[in-house]
Chains A and B, each alone.
Chain A
Amino acid sequence: MDLAALASCLTATSCLVTQTTSGFIIGMLLFLVAAGVSLIFGVLKVVNFAHGSFYMLGAYFAYTAYVLTGNYFVAVVAGGVGVGIFGYLFERVLVSRVYGSAVLMQLLVCYGVILILDDVVKIVWGAEFKSFGMPDMFQQLPILFAGGVVPVFYLFLIIVTLIIAGLLGLLITKTRYGKIVRAAAVNPSMVSALGINTGLVYGSVFVLGGLLAGLAGGLAAPVRSLTAGMGLSVVVESFIVTVIGGMGSVAGALAGSLLIGLVRSFGSIGFPLFTEGLMFLLMAVVLVVKPSGLFGREA
C-alpha cells in the first residue's frame, strides 16, 4: 500500500490528467465487450461467458485482414463484421438450445466453446503470439495536455468508442428495433404475440454483441499481443463491469467500465499489489449493497 503516493497524485494536475485518461482508455475498450455481455444478459438472460473468445476472434480476424490489406480501418471492420456473423451462428446453433435452462447449463456450453475456440485459434493462426504493429498514421509522439501525456492512438480509441457508445445508446432508446429489444427483455411472449419473430430478435442481439466485441478486438489489436486464451482476462473484467453497472443496462456498462478503469489506474498507484483484488472487492460490495447493480432495475 502506498497511500502517500496516491495522495500526492490526486493533488498534482499532471498525474490526475494522465491517470484519468489512462482510466478512460482501459474503461472504454472494456465497455465495448461489457456492453455486449450486458445486452445479451438483459434481453436473453444468458450469461455469455464465451464473450472473451468473441473479442479474441475479433483481434485475429482483424489481424488477418490487416496482413492482407494493410489497412487498419478495413481490419477493424473485418473484426467487427466477422464476429457479428459468428455471434449469429453461435446463438442459432448452440445458445438457442439452452434458453430457459439452468444458468450452469449455459455456463457449461460457454465453457465448451471457450475450450474449442482457443484450440481452433492455435491450429489456424499458430501457437506463437502475434503482434499487430502500430499503423503508420498513429506513429506519432504523444500529446501533452495540462501536464499529462496522452498518446494519439489512445485519443483516437477514446473518440471512436465514445461514438460507438453514443450510437448504441441511440439504437436502444430511439429506434423501433431498440423498442422491440427492450420489450423482448421484459416480456418475450408479448413480443411474439405481436407477430415479431423473436428468434430473429435474439439472433440480432448476439450479432450486436459480437459486433461490439469484434470491434473491440480489432481496435485494440495494435497494442495487444494476440494469443489463444487472450479473451480470459477481458471476460472476467467485463463481467465485473456488468455486475457493477447492472446486468442489461448499457448506461450501467459504461459507468461500470469507467469505474473499473479509474480503479485500476489510481489503484496501481495506491495499491500496486492488490488492484485485481480491489476490483473483485468492489464487485462484492456492489452485490451486497445493491445486488441489481448501480443502474440495474430491481428484480
Chain B
Amino acid sequence: MRQSSFLRDCLLALIAFAILAAIPYFFPGRGVTDFLVRLAAFAIFATSLNLLVGYGGMESFGHGLFFGLGCYSFALILKHFPQVTIPGAFVLTILMSVLVGAVVGAICVRLNETYFAFLTLAFQMLLHSLIIAWTPITGGDNGLTGYSRPAFLGIRLDNYYHVYLFSSALLCLCLLAMYQIVQSPFGYTLRMIRDNASRAVFLGIDVWRMRLVAFVIAGAFGAVGGVVMSLFVSGAFPDFAFWTISGEAIFMIMLGGLTAFLGPLVGAAIFLTLNDVVTKLGSTVKGLTGVPNLDFYIEKIASSYGLILGSIILLFALGLKKGLLDFLNDAWADRKETSTAEATKAAAPARAPGE
C-alpha cells in the first residue's frame, strides 16, 4: 500500500517535471521561466517552513536563517574554492545547514510559541549581522557575485535554460521528498505533538528530539530554496538573510493555506504574481483618465507598492482568515457533506485515512 502510493507520487512528480520542462517551448521569452525559477526557490522555502508551522505547530519567525545560509554557503564555497564541483558545493551546503540547524534547533525547540518565534528571529538576525560585518569574506551589503559554475554531468549552470531545468527538478524532488516525510510515521508523530504534546509524552515520544529533527529537516530544505535563489541571481545578497524574507514566507503560507500540502506552493505563486503585478501597476495606469491632476494621484497611489500589497494582506488575513487552498478545500468538503448528508456516515472517516 505504502509502496504503491510512493510510486504514484514519484510518477506525479515526474509528470510535473515533464510539464515544467516543456514550458520554455511554449513561452520562449524569459518572463515565464524567470517566474518559475523564483517560484521554485520560494515554494521550496515556504513548504519547508510549513513543515514546522503547519505540521509541527512550531511558529518560526526566523526560517530565513536557512534561506540566507543556503544562499551564502553555496555561493561562498564556489567563489573561494573553485576546485569544488557543484554537487560538492550542494552537499556541503546541506551539511552546513544541518549542522547549524542542529545547534540552533537544540537551543530553540524547547521554547514555545512567541518565545520560539523570537529566538529563531534572533538567530536569523545574528547571521544577517555577521554577513554585513564580515565584509572581506561575504562582500558585506554589496553582496557576493561572480562565482564559478563548473559543468557536471552535462549540466551547465552558467546556461540559463539549464538553471531553469535544474531548479524545476529540485522543486519536484524537494516537494516529493517533503510529501513523503509528512506522510511517514514521523510526520504523523509531528502532528500528534502539535495537537497534544502532553499526550505524546505520555505515549513515550521524545518531543524535544522529534521537534529538533523536524527543525533540522526543514532547515535543510530551506537551504535548498536558498541555493535556487543564489543560482537565479548568480550571487548572494544580505537581503536573503533579513527578517523580511521570513515574513514573506509566512505570508505565502497564509495566502496558500497551511493545512494543504501544496498550500505554500500556491501561496508562493500568488505572492510572486501579486508582487509582479503591483510593481508594474504604476506605469500601466499612466494617463488613465486624461485628467492631469487626477492621473497624478492615481499614479502616485498605484506606484505605492506597500500600500496596495499591505491592503491585500489585510483583506486576506481579516477576510478569508485562511489560505486559498484551505478555503477551497473546506468549501469543497462542505458542499460534499451537504450533498451526501443522507449517505452513510461510515464514508466520512474513510475520506481522511490515518488522521
Contact = CB atoms under 8 A, between A and B. Distances in A.
The answer on direct contact between A and B (beta carbons under 8 Å) is yes
Contacts of B125: 236, 276, 280
B310 A274 contact: no
A225 B351 CA distance: 60
Contact of B129 (A47, A114, A123, A280): A280
Contacts of B314: 94, 109, 112-113, 116
B126 A280 contact: yes
A104 interface: yes
B15 interface: no
Contacts of A283: 118-119, 122
B307 A120 contact: yes
Interface string B288-308: 000000000000110011110
Contacts of B13: none
Interface stretch (B78-86, B215-223, B247-255): B247-255
A267 to B, nearest CB: 12
Nearest to B303: A119
B133 A277 contact: yes
Range for the number of chain B residues in contact with chain A: 35 or more
Nearest to A242: B118
A116 to B, nearest CB: 4
Contacts, number: 115
Interface centre among B111, B113, B114, B254 (most CB of A within 10 A): B114
A200 interface: no
Given A119-B306, A277-B130, A111 B313 contact: yes
Interface string B22-65: 00000000000000000000000000000001000001010000
Interface string A252-288: 0000000000000000000001101100110110011
B115 A281 contact: no
A199 to B, nearest CB: 17
A195 B209 CA distance: 46
A137 interface: no
B318 A287 contact: no
A165 interface: no
A113 B107 CA distance: 32
Contact of B310 (A41, A102, A113): A113
B107 A288 contact: yes
Contact of B126 (A41, A47, A277): A277
A24 to B, nearest CB: 25
A108 interface: yes
B163 interface: no
B122 A111 contact: no
Contact of A112 (B59, B111, B118, B311): B311
B133 A273 contact: yes
A224 interface: no
B310 A115 contact: yes
Interface string A42-81: 0000010000000000000000000000000000000000
B100 interface: no
Contacts of B17: none
A284 B126 contact: yes
A277 B119 CA distance: 13
A91 interface: no
B317 A108 contact: yes
B318 A119 contact: no
A112 B317 contact: yes
Contact of B318 (A94, A111, A116, A240): A94
Interface of B: 53, 59, 61, 107, 111, 113-115, 117-119, 122-123, 125-126, 129-130, 133, 243, 247, 250-251, 253-254, 300-301, 304-307, 309-314, 316-318, 321
Interface of A: 41, 47, 94, 97-98, 101-105, 107-109, 111-116, 118-120, 122-123, 236, 239-240, 243, 247, 273-274, 276-277, 280-281, 283-284, 287-288, 291
13 contacts: A98-B318, A103-B59, A103-B113, A103-B117, A104-B59, A107-B61, A108-B254, A111-B313, A113-B314, A116-B307, A281-B126, A287-B111, A288-B119
